[in-house]
Structure 1
């Protein structure tokens, strides 16, 4: 689940602690064009306050009316659909006649949100099984899949970090990149055995590892939801991580450094470690989108922009430099 939906769960528990009745809504299926994907959630308070979104506002308005009337916050979970015909789709503003299916779940002690949040705070992945007929919830260890499933009796959702990001080096760049990546639902791991860099490194939500980079990559068992980026400029550190990374299913492998340094790095990996040309081609370097970034936070943004593109199957073409707008306005354009 992403940070938006995690905040929905936190808000629901806060409202419950304040004495309000709360209902939790989870998108289970969409057909046609829908504003938010399955798994997205919304919390509604008995007085009509809303946290999160499942439709951009149109369906929430109807749910608010029902919550204020007391029709949602008591009883058992229920499955509802919006946009099942053209008239309903037009009424609720669903684009292109889209259809959204929701499970509405009154939040009660058996909902186990406090237990779920405690596990998520520990960085765990959790498989949550809701029994529709009783409202009872079972929390189980998460597995490698994260597909939502709804049948006649149960709703199964997956919570916790889906994407992992391993950063080699605990320097200044890593500080910015780790902070931004946690906001994008990455579980961030930072590897640096060097005392002078690791001492004092602290980013909320990121885990610092002091093992050697190659050992770290092997131990974490990268999968198709893992990105590995070398950021130290030190061949003894970066090369060790990349050597193991290119042999893994990681969806993204990157290394900081100029084009000249990238060429030297690839030559070393090929000569000393027997890395093939196909494996070397997996390394994004210089890492990040080429957008003119110069400062550490700018470069961090460019790296995460490229990660996002790769995650969703997009290839961003090489940009064409243009003169800054300030120069154009000053009459410096040719």
Structure 2
């Protein structure tokens, strides 16, 4: 699950606590070139205000119109709706030719499950939520990364994962550019730099400075599959110690600044002095970032963030388990 979808849940919680009526819409199945993947969320308030998206276009407009017209006021339990079943409907709703979306729409009444999901994901837990369409009953359980969205026409199980986070080793100009771009992508951004003269430059809102030596910080962070770590100090005493711990962690991305020659020397050093395996060293992205001919700190930051997103999306991709024979339009 993307951080955007967690933000949708946060908006739903705030709206319900303010006494507003909210319909939560979840993409459960797609065929063809559907714009949003299964699991994507859209929340629609009774006055038409929205959070999130299920198509990025006319499907939202149709849902908003229906909700504002009061069509869903009497909706007691979750139900399913389909868009773009025919080529004509696909064209009407702005879907690519042949694209089809099946959605589950549910009136949000009890928000206890939302509070628990937000609390558990903030602690970097992965949560599976199952809703029974006939009653709206919701149950939560701990999930594994091998789990996938499941929908059989009777129950819907979706996954809510922790927010993606990025730990930067170093607080220099490049780190600040990377941090700024990562924030725009809704990463939780952490920066560790024990050098006060550099850390004093760190002044970005929403970026957290983590105190301590980099290797200790990595250990305390307990990097999981939603964590990226990038070493940017150019100081081997700081970078290497952090990389030693990062490469032995579950972080989905580990990168380090430096030329190809420097990276070869670094890998040899890590293998000889820190006993890192060849398999662990193969996880290191170095030189860090995509090769786009970057020269300036901002351009290098673009290349780094682009590679992190590339790896993140590949790591997050998972098959969707569905039983389409049980689904009715």
TM-score scaled by structure 2? 0.78
CA offset digits 1:221-258 (Å, max 9, x no partner): 54554432111211111112223334455443211123
CA offset digits 1:83-126 (Å, max 9, x no partner): 33444434433323122111101122356445544555566544
Partner secondary structure for residue 72 of structure 2: coil
Q: Which runs of 5+ in 2 are unaligned?
A: 316-329
Question: How does 1:257-296 map onto structure 2 within 5 Å?
Answer: 257-275=258-276, 279-296=280-297
2:100 is matched with: 99
Give distance in 1, aligned partners of 2:173 and 2:140: 38
2:322 is matched with: none
When Rg is computed on C-alpha atoms for both structures, the one with the higher figure is: 1
CA contact 2:5–2:52 (8 Å) conserved in 1: yes
Give distance in 1, aligned partners of 2:139 and 2:17: 22
1:77 is matched with: 78
Partner secondary structure for residue 240 of structure 2: helix
Change over 3 Å in CA distance of 1:299–1:90 after alignment to 2: closer
Change over 3 Å in CA distance of 1:249–1:298 after alignment to 2: same
1:301 matched to 2:302: yes
Greater relative contact order (Cα < 8 A, sep 6+): 2
Question: How does 1:237-252 map onto structure 2 within 5 Å?
Answer: 237-248=238-249, 250-252=251-253
CA offset digits 1:18-67 (Å, max 9, x no partner): 54322110111112210111111112222333333212222223212321
Question: How does 1:1-334 map onto structure 2 within 5 Å?
Answer: 1-73=1-73, 74-110=75-111, 112-117=113-118, 120=121, 125-141=126-142, 143-145=144-146, 147-161=148-162, 163-193=164-194, 206=207, 208-218=209-219, 220=221, 222=223, 224-248=225-249, 250-275=251-276, 279-312=280-313
Task: Count how many residue pairs are aligned between Structure 1 and Structure 2.
Answer: 314
Q: Which runs of 5+ in 1 are unaligned?
A: 315-334
CA contact 1:193–1:209 (8 Å) conserved in 2: no
Give distance in 2, aligned partners of 1:219 and 1:20: 41
Give distance in 2, aligned partners of 1:96 and 1:157: 27
1:207 Cα deviation after fit: 5.0
Partner secondary structure for residue 8 of structure 1: helix
Give distance in 1, aligned partners of 2:287 and 2:84: 47
- Report the RMSD for the aligned CA atoms in angstroms: 3.4
Give distance in 2, aligned partners of 1:111 and 1:71: 26
Deviates more, 1:46-55 or 1:8-17: 8-17
CA contact 2:87–2:97 (8 Å) conserved in 1: no
